[in-house]
Structure 1
Amino acid sequence: MSLEPLKSARKRTVGAKQTIKAVEKSQAKEVYWASDAEARVVDPILRICSSKNIPTVKVESMKDLGRACNIEVGCAIAAITEY
């Protein structure tokens, strides 16, 4: 799956804390998660996404996801809140 929508999003969350808040408030339009992230970090958020019918996109690595979010470190999970 392409990371272009995340790269070009007007607003996004980066990291578990920001993303879980956006998901719980139903502000997240789409959630991206890294396949090499720790399950204890991403699984609870993915369960909420499933219950709220928020689409999720699996990304190859935390490094790729971090790069797409314009940060210099890896990122476990991120979300688009405004396209």
Structure 2
Amino acid sequence: MADERLLSSRKKTVGAKQTLKALERGQAKTVYVAKDADRFVVEPIIQLCSVKGVPIIQVDTMQSLGKACRIEVGCAVAAIVE
């Protein structure tokens, strides 16, 4: 299961596009990446995290990351922005 901070966070991004925007704006504090997500989706986000110094937490499945974000479908990437 994903980190408790993501579950309790009031401000977060869900999905690759929103997370990438938050990273570019310097708003993302921690990024969560599903291990079973497509590499071409998550690789640009992982690279930007390493450039910006944002910690990445690996989550086992997209389904568990989606549940942590309180959505009904899987999620490749999410971030805490508060």
TM-score, structure 1 as length reference: 0.95
Partner of residue 38, structure 1: 38
Seen in structure 2, the aligned counterparts of structure 1 residues 2 and 69 have a Cα distance that, compared at 3 Å, is closer
Question: In the alignment, what sits opposite 2:52?
Answer: 52
- For these two proteins, the number of residue pairs brought into alignment is 82
Task: Give yes or no for contact 2:2–2:65 (8 Å, CA) kept in 1.
Answer: no
Look up the match of 1:3: 3
Measure, in 2, the Cα distance between the counterparts of 1:19 and 1:52: 13
Q: Distance in 2 between matches of 1:2 and 1:17?
A: 20
Deviation at 1:5, TM superposition (A): 0.5
In the superposition, the TM-score normalised over structure 2's length comes to 0.97
Residue 2 of structure 1 deviates from its aligned partner by: 4.8
Partner residue of 1:77? 77
- Where in structure 1 do 4 or more consecutive aligned residues deviate above 2 Å? none
Secondary structure, in 3 states, of the residue corresponding to 1:13?
strand
Greater share of residues in helix = 2
Unpaired segments ≥5 residues, structure 1: none
3-state DSSP of counterpart to 1:5 = helix
- What SS does structure 2 have at the residue aligned with 1:10? coil
Specify every segment of 5 or more residues in structure 2 that has no aligned partner in the other structure, as ranges.
none
Change (3 A) 1:17 1:2: closer
Q: Within 1, Cα distance between the matches of 2:73 and 2:10?
A: 21
Question: What SS does the corresponding residue of 1:75 show, helix, strand or coil?
Answer: coil
